[in-house]
Amino acid sequence: MPTSSDSDARRLAHRVLVLQALAGLAVALVCLLVWGRDGLMSAVAGAVTGVIANLYMTFRALRPARTPQAALGRLYFGQLIKVIVTIGLFVLAFWLLPHVAWPALLIAYLATLVVSWSAPLRVIRRGSGRG
């Protein structure tokens, strides 16, 4: 049975994923203005890569573990798979997009990373009374 903290963690994870998608969309629109259609498609590919990789990691990390060691092992394995998924999706973008705008792809991907790092920190800061 999920506890209140499990529910809070799932809510935060959902919020982070939505914010990542919104950040990716915002970057994609800017890239459309800067690089045109190729920039838009590349940025969408970068944002989708970030969201999908984080989605996998989120599901992996939120599964209950019997021991702290098992939880840590799951976290490390999840990070490894996240890196493999990211590389695979970048390669797929290279194959599927005839004119990849690498700056757009990487900026959108980095935007999703910034959200995944900063959103939980803001919640922690707010909870400790400093935010």
> In this predicted model, what pLDDT tens digit does every residue of 77-122 receive, in sequence order?
888 999 999 999 999 999 999 899 999 999 999 999 999 888 777 7
Q: What is the pTM of this model?
A: 0.83
Q: Is residue 3 situated within a structural domain?
A: no
Query: What per-residue confidence (pLDDT) applies to 127?
Result: 63
Taking the C-alpha atoms of residue 79 and residue 118, their distance in angstroms, rounded to an integer, is 18
Cβ contacts of 85-94, under 8 Å, gap ≥ 24: 85/49, 85/52, 85/53, 85/56, 86/49, 86/50, 86/53, 89/45, 89/48, 89/49, 89/52, 89/53, 90/49, 93/42, 93/45, 93/46, 93/49
pLDDT of residue 119: 74
Rounded Cα gap, residues 73 and 77, in angstroms = 6
Domain that holds residue 50: 8-126
For residue 120, what are the contacts with CB-CB under 8 A and spacing of at least 6? 12, 16
Please tell me the total count of domains within the chain: 1
pLDDT tens-digit map of 28-78: 999 999 999 999 999 999 999 999 999 988 887 778 888 989 888 888 888
2 assigned to some structural domain: no
Please, which pLDDT band fits residue 27 given cuts at 50, 70 and 90?
A: very high
Would you say residue 19 lies in a domain? yes
